[in-house]
Amino acid sequence: MDSPLAADGNWPHMGSQEPAQEFLDAYRHQVATMAYASSLTYYHRMPAMRGLFKSLIRRLIHKMLRHEV
């Protein structure tokens, strides 16, 4: 999951059919799936790892709020 760690506006390893992103491979679907999977893993499997998942989920939310998403 190196996409949340990437700089804003940089989308490595995330393909999308630009420019309108109307398909299922749009950034918003990919980022939302990463956030959902991370949240489920934290809640059900690793509740003791709060610090790790808190920063990861915050970075994913920050990515979701970008204009190109």
CA–CA separation, 28 and 48 (whole Å): 28
- Decide if 21 is inside a domain: no
Share of the chain above pLDDT 90, in %: 35
Q: What is the DSSP letter of 7?
A: P
Residue range(s) defining the domain that contains residue 32: 27-64
pTM of the full predicted structure? Answer: 0.68
Residue 8 placed within a domain: no
Rg of the chain taking only CA atoms, in angstroms: 13
pLDDT in tens, 53-64: 999 999 999 988
> Six-digit token pair at 10?
């940089």
Is residue 7 a part of any domain in this protein?
no
Q: Residue 22 burial by CB count (10 A; 0-12/13-18/19+): exposed, middle or buried? A: exposed
Is 46 inside any structural domain? yes
pLDDT for residue 1: 47
Within a domain: 35: yes
Residue 15 belongs to some domain of the structure: no
Residue linked to tokens 């489920």: 40
Whether 17 maps to a domain, the answer reads no
Number of domains in the chain: 1
Residue 31 belongs to a domain = yes
pLDDT average, residue stretch 19-39: 79
